[in-house]
Structure 1
Amino acid sequence: MAAEPKDILLLGLGAVGAIYAFVLQRSGLARVTVVARSNYEAVKERGMDIQSLKYGEHKGWRPYRIFKSINEAADRAYSHVVLVTKMIVELETNSQLLEPLLSPAYTEKFSQPVYVLMQNGMNIEVDLWNAVKALNQETPRIIGTSVYIGSKLLDKHIVEHSDFDRVSMGIHREETNVLVNTPEEAAILSGFGDILSSGGTDVTIVPEIHRVKFQKNAFNCTYGSITSLSRYNMQGLFRKPPDEDYTPPATNPNLVDSAHPTPAREATTPVPASFPMVAEYTIPWMYELLSEVKELGQKLFPDAGYDELPLTVLVSTSAIVNKPTSNERPSMLVDVELGRPTEVEVIIGSLVRASRTVGVSMPRLETIYALMLIIQEHVLYEFRKKAKL
């Protein structure tokens, strides 16, 4: 006899949330209730049009239930609550977002679910862990994830998805660098991982999620910030102009001391670049930035194997970007272009604060953080001003 589908609540029906809501329901193992705040009316009226190279085209797809607020959805127990929302902690923390599920009105009727945070950034689990622990019920069950997916919203009810989506997941603990899952933790992870994999997502279960998330964060803090500040996407870094008759000019000898290349310039020789001066200065600078991130990672997660992280991030990304079909746009760049707050605090600020705690110097990342804060603070100012109208 088939098991009853699990009730799962998913918050955030953006480009990533729409695909994972679809995947969870596609598994046949879940009834998915979605909270869609910004695009609720459009999806309620038309459903979600999914255009996916992997899953095909699904016009007017709908989850099991859809609401505009968590208060409306807090009418039943859920096995899992999945957060696929932006982490703008200056505006709202996860515990504030989930307040209806943490209030006595809910906790006196229903047990706490497994929380799954499919969000960017480091240390994002701590706030929710503390809030759930303060309920004095069972030990909080929080799954952290590292998500790789190619998707974007074309309209409020239209999502375009590429041919890949994969998730690494692991248990968040108060202790750090615990490298073995207990039987209870393994059961929690396989319980949710089986639903995702049945829906079609590639799932990897790991014993320590934060070192895996750190590698993803290295990508985000580098490319998100550089594309946001330059206003050029990743093709602007690695892909030569498409003109068939374009020949890169020789690098001006007055601008380059070719007899004394820096170690970073020598290390990045295999990395393709859009222009010679980008190869000479920008790519090596990115390598040095990633080397700072690597040093912090080695301090936080001993024996994590980050030695090749700088070159790996550059080479692997440039290989993806230089595919003819690639049009990679980091979410931070998209937010800046649309005048929205970015996840600068959880992606970059979290590393800056961690570096000061453990005594790692990160002058390049601190510079990036300082510049991104100019954009962030002005956008937040406008956002708060409009909220008062």
Structure 2
Amino acid sequence: MALTKACLNNALPKPMNYFLFHLGFKKVFGGIRPQEGGRWKGRCRRTILSAQIFDGFYLSRDPNGISAAYCFARLPRLRSRDLAKVDWLNKFDPFIPGGMASEVRILIVGTGAVGAFYGSRLHRPEEGVKVSFVCRSNYEEVKANGIEIVSRTFGKYTMQPADVFKSIDQAAQLGPSESGSRWDFVILCTKVLPDRVDDAVLLSPLLRVANDHDRPPPTLVLIQNGIGFEDNHRQRHPQVPILSAVTVVNAEQLKPNLVRHNRWTRISIGPYLNFSSYLAHPHPPINPQLGIHSQSQLELLVSLLRSGQIHDVEIYGEKDLQILRWHKLAINASMNPTSILSGGLPSSEMVKNPQLRLHLQGCMQEVFEAAKKIFGIESFPANFASIERILQSTEKAGESSTIKPSMLVDWELGRPLEIQAIMGFPIRIATRAGVKLARIQSMYAFLNQLQLARSKKTGLCQARI
């Protein structure tokens, strides 16, 4: 999210004194706004930061040369001796985190392999970063014994969460237990099943905005597969900062509280504000402060992940993150359904079969062409893998381990499939853009029928968290 002149002109009336907040690291310093092009400095807790003001715009770097996101609070009649009184600053701006807050509280909803792995890397209670989980089927095991991670990258270790909750309602009522304050981040790592459960409604107890606006709402982070599901959250929670994340991590849940991390850690994150390029309806206008706060929370989350040794975490802009989603969709929408329809073949076996390899190439090409039309681009960025490179890396990965697509694992375990987010939504979005996903459409029809037949036999019911 680029900070525009309009955003900061509205936030910085010239006659006012003000505090300049480094939202990512909760640092603060104050002074009188200089003339345009002027410079001012202020001492914060550990170091001196500086900011350059260009006619209401900003350019800022910390002493190490790292760009940072800042927000400006309107504070009339501020005096230098008030610098120590940071506890009352919240009331001036609903999007400023709680002053010099010493803790970051994170709630992860969906304690499968992905949620458990990233939660274990974020959790550093000795540094004030506390991670809690909402567990469903594995509540008793995680509550009693924590989560054990076996990783080729990080070794074997056990994480003891700050709290473990049976449900979202319980997490909203009880946590964080010591203060009753809201969560800073709510990270959703569940399957996207809009035909069975409305995630935006389920998360509402966690994302309510306080009437007195004494704190911002939690930032919602969506680490999920598929396309177009973020819009439901934005419509339901217009004041909530939303971050959308794409990951390539390969991990599996071996037991209720045991996760094996096989390979890769990369996660790409970007804001989701008012992106309606491929939606059937426009979003309402977004408060500029929401964009500023979303960017600051994005940078905070990235810094926390890097501190947890996830060094390949990436920051994307809103549109670029959606382009990346379509690139990953080319893999998911081809290999996931094909693995089921081919009788349960893992990815590496499919790419070795000449006919299936040709089919996978055709599916990926369909998605690539649709993305180009939707986003108005000639090609994906040069650093994105080509179709042939994807197939080659899949074949090579199969030499050391058998990797089953997640949809195949769900099918074998009798779980509902992410058909809508991975196939249904993209088909509808592509159709509105005048593009046909013929191969994906055919597999979508077959899988829908297979799942319907299984549901009638097993009585598969609506999922609840």
Per mean C-alpha deviation after superposition, the further-off stretch among 82-91 and 375-384 is 375-384
* Deviation of 1:56 (Å): 1.2
Matches within 5 A, 1:185-196: 185-196=294-305
- Structure 1's 311 and 109: CA in aligned 2 closer, same or farther, altered over 3 A? closer
Q: Does 1:140 align with 2:240?
A: yes
Q: Distance in 2 between matches of 1:68 and 1:229?
A: 35
Q: Distance in 2 between matches of 1:212 and 1:46?
A: 37
Give the 3-state SS of the residue equivalent to 2:305 in structure 1.
helix
* Deviation of 1:140 (Å): 3.0
**In the alignment, what sits opposite 2:114?**
16
Aligned residue among 151, 162, 185 for 1:52: 151
Aligned residue among 386, 403, 409 for 1:328: 403
Q: Which amino acid aligns with 2:368?
A: K
Q: Does 1:228 align with 2:228?
A: no
TM-score (norm 2): 0.67
Aligned residue among 142, 146, 169 for 2:269: 169
Equivalent pairs counted in the alignment come to 341
Per mean C-alpha deviation after superposition, the further-off stretch among 37-46 and 215-224 is 37-46
Matches within 5 A, 1:244-263: none
Aligned residue among 362, 366, 381 for 1:292: 366
* Deviation of 1:40 (Å): 0.6
* Deviation of 1:49 (Å): 1.5
Q: Which amino acid aligns with 2:346?
A: N
Give the 3-state SS of the residue equivalent to 2:217 in structure 1.
coil
1:123-152 CA deviation, whole Å, 9 max, x = no partner?
11111111112xxxxx43100111110100
* Deviation of 1:111 (Å): 3.9
Q: Which amino acid aligns with 1:236?
A: E
CA contact (8 A) 1:227 1:233 kept: yes
**Which has the higher Rg, Structure 1 or Structure 2?**
2
Q: Which amino acid aligns with 1:369?
A: Y
CA RMSD of aligned residues (A): 2.9
Higher fraction of helix: 1
Higher RCO (C-alpha under 8 Å, 6+ residues apart) = 1
**In the alignment, what sits opposite 2:386?**
312
Q: Distance in 1 between matches of 2:382 and 2:163?
A: 45
Q: Does 1:203 align with 2:313?
A: yes
Q: Does 1:85 align with 2:215?
A: no
Matches within 5 A, 1:36-75: 36-59=135-158, 61-74=159-172, 75=174
Q: Distance in 2 between matches of 1:300 and 1:340?
A: 32
Q: Which amino acid aligns with 1:198?
A: S
CA contact (8 A) 1:321 1:327 kept: no
Q: Which amino acid aligns with 2:140?
A: E
- Structure 1's 98 and 300: CA in aligned 2 closer, same or farther, altered over 3 A? same
Q: Distance in 1 between matches of 2:294 and 2:442?
A: 39
Matches within 5 A, 1:341-380: 341-380=416-455
**In the alignment, what sits opposite 1:245?**
none
Q: Which amino acid aligns with 1:199?
A: G
- Structure 1's 49 and 120: CA in aligned 2 closer, same or farther, altered over 3 A? same
Q: Distance in 2 between matches of 1:206 and 1:47?
A: 33
1:172-227 CA deviation, whole Å, 9 max, x = no partner?
122357xxx97554323211111111111121101131111111111111111111
Q: Which amino acid aligns with 1:118?
A: I
Q: Which amino acid aligns with 2:380?
A: Y
Give the 3-state SS of the residue equivalent to 1:151 in structure 2.
strand
Structure 2 runs not aligned, ≥5 long:
1-44, 47-100, 175-180, 278-289
* Deviation of 1:11 (Å): 0.5
TM-score (norm 1): 0.80
Per mean C-alpha deviation after superposition, the further-off stretch among 228-237 and 345-354 is 228-237
Q: Distance in 2 between matches of 1:205 and 1:222?
A: 26
Structure 1 runs not aligned, ≥5 long:
134-138, 239-272
CA contact (8 A) 2:252 2:259 kept: yes
